Amino acid sequence: MKVLVTGAAGFIGYHLARRLAEGARCEVLGVDNMSPYYDVGLKQARLDEIERLETFRFVKADFCDAEAFAGIVSHFHPDYIAHLGAQPGVRYSLANPAACVRANLQGFANVLEACRKTPPKHLVYASSSSVYGAGAKPPFREDDATGQPTSVYGATKKSNELMAHAYARAYGLKATGLRFFTVYGPWGRPDMAPTLFAQAICAEQPVPLFNEGRNQRDFTYVDDIVDGIVRALLYPFPSGSASQPASRVLNLGHHRPVETLEFVRVLAGLLGRKARLELLPPQPGDMTETCADLTRVNAALGFIPKVPLEEGLRRFVDWFKSYYKC
């Protein structure tokens, strides 16, 4: 079984490619442009880990290059495609909307076109809880209104869902979008809260908490996310009939929101340090609470998150201390 994973040097992409190549014994082709959005050294370190596996190969390429990416897909001819590459960052998208639009809209259009020309059995792509936006009331359900995104990033991810639906209708593509909820764990991105908080705590610097730390997030451990991706990837559904949607979107979260104040408290305890808190007003584009309703994904895939916050943070801290020598 052949699987192409975009964003393979990224946080979730690395974990997925490793699971598929190591556990499922799939032939995995990883694609990543090694963007300098954050430390390329961390991306290379992830690749160094996974390139030891015989069933994994890597190609440095940018899916924003339509011709090059279509050529890769045509040559490899994957059974399944997991499109996890993107320009991430809710706050980054507000300051750099053009970068977000290029990767997440034009880039995603290129992925869909490549799938149209060389159809896989199933395309699974990363959406986001950011699509729920203003007016959403937790727990968020997939059929809730998603027409008021609070960030450019959220708007591009909602657009991805609409684009995939249109391609499914027009060309029979089987596509599943997964709305990820605040993923954390080992090898996490340095621009995400767990690493930023841990670095500040270790350096005895203030930990900035927007909305005075009262924001609640549905923190979901990366192994649970990967479990959901694999289940979705390998179990496509009939599409295009009158009784089935042309595509689907599913939440992948933990369904147990935690205040960021509590998150920092647990993290500091595991680090054996004391956190210096800097309580700040709300940040533009932020949502005050996220919580995934898992009814649909449980029915479709039997997905149930298994890793509690304390255990997930313990594993993250073990990796953080080893990697950052803290």
Write the Ramachandran bin of 168: left for phi over 0, alpha for psi from -120 to 50, otherwise beta.
alpha
311 within domain boundaries: no
- The three-state secondary structure class of 264 is helix
- H/E run at residue 43: helix 40-50
230 within domain boundaries: yes
pLDDT value at residue 48: 98
209 within domain boundaries: no
Whole-prediction pTM value? 0.96
The Cα 310–Cα 107 span in angstroms is 37
Instruction: Quote the domain boundaries for residue 33.
Output: 2-180+220-253+292-305
135 within domain boundaries: yes
* Percent share of the chain, pLDDT over 70: 97
- Decide which of 150 and 318 is more confident: 318
Q: How many domains does the chain have?
A: 1
Instruction: Convert the pLDDT of each residue in 79-121 to its tens digit.
Output: 999 999 999 998 899 999 999 999 999 999 999 999 999 999 9
Instruction: Convert the pLDDT of each residue in 243-297 to its tens digit.
Output: 566 799 999 999 999 999 999 999 999 999 999 999 999 987 677 899 999 999 9
| Mean of per-residue pLDDT scores for the chain | 95
- H/E run at residue 58: strand 56-60
Let me know: does 89 contact 286? Beta carbons within 8 Å. Answer: no
pLDDT value at residue 163: 98
318 within domain boundaries: no
Number of Cβ within 10 Å of residue 212's Cβ equals: 15
Return the bridge partners of 124, or none: 82, 176
276 within domain boundaries: no
- What are the phi and psi torsion angles at 274 (to 5°)? -110, 135
To 5 degrees, how large is the angle CA 211–CA 159–CA 168? 140
pLDDT value at residue 235: 82
321 within domain boundaries: no
270 within domain boundaries: no
Let me know: does 247 contact 165? Beta carbons within 8 Å. Answer: yes
pLDDT value at residue 326: 86
Let me know: does 236 contact 287? Beta carbons within 8 Å. Answer: no
Residue range 12-38: mean pLDDT, rounded:
95
pLDDT value at residue 243: 58
The encoded tokens of residue 242 equal 């009158």
- The CA dihedral of 193, 195, 199, 201, to the nearest 10 degrees, is 60
Confidence label for 34 from pLDDT (cuts 50, 70 and 90): very high
pLDDT value at residue 215: 95
pLDDT value at residue 143: 95
The encoded tokens of residue 35 equal 């963007």
To 5 degrees, how large is the angle CA 111–CA 77–CA 46? 70
> Which active-site residues does the annotation give?
153
Confidence label for 239 from pLDDT (cuts 50, 70 and 90): low
Secondary structure of 24-86 in HEC code, one letter for each residue: CCCEEEEEECCCCCCCHHHHHHHHHHHCCCCCEEEEECCCCCHHHHHHHHHHHCCCEEEECCC
Residue range 158-186: mean pLDDT, rounded:
97
- What are the phi and psi torsion angles at 47 (to 5°)? -60, -40
pLDDT value at residue 244: 64
Q: Is 80 exceeded by the pLDDT of residue 57?
A: yes
Instruction: Convert the pLDDT of each residue in 128-162 to its tens digit.
Output: 999 998 778 999 999 999 989 889 999 999 999 99
Confidence label for 233 from pLDDT (cuts 50, 70 and 90): very high
The Cα 76–Cα 79 span in angstroms is 9
Confidence label for 23 from pLDDT (cuts 50, 70 and 90): confident
* Percent share of the chain, pLDDT over 90: 90
Contacts for 90 with CB less than 8 Å, ≥ 6 apart: 130, 151, 153, 154, 285, 286
Closest to 267 (Cα-Cα) out of 206, 307, 316: 316
Residue 65, domain CATH: 3.40.50.720
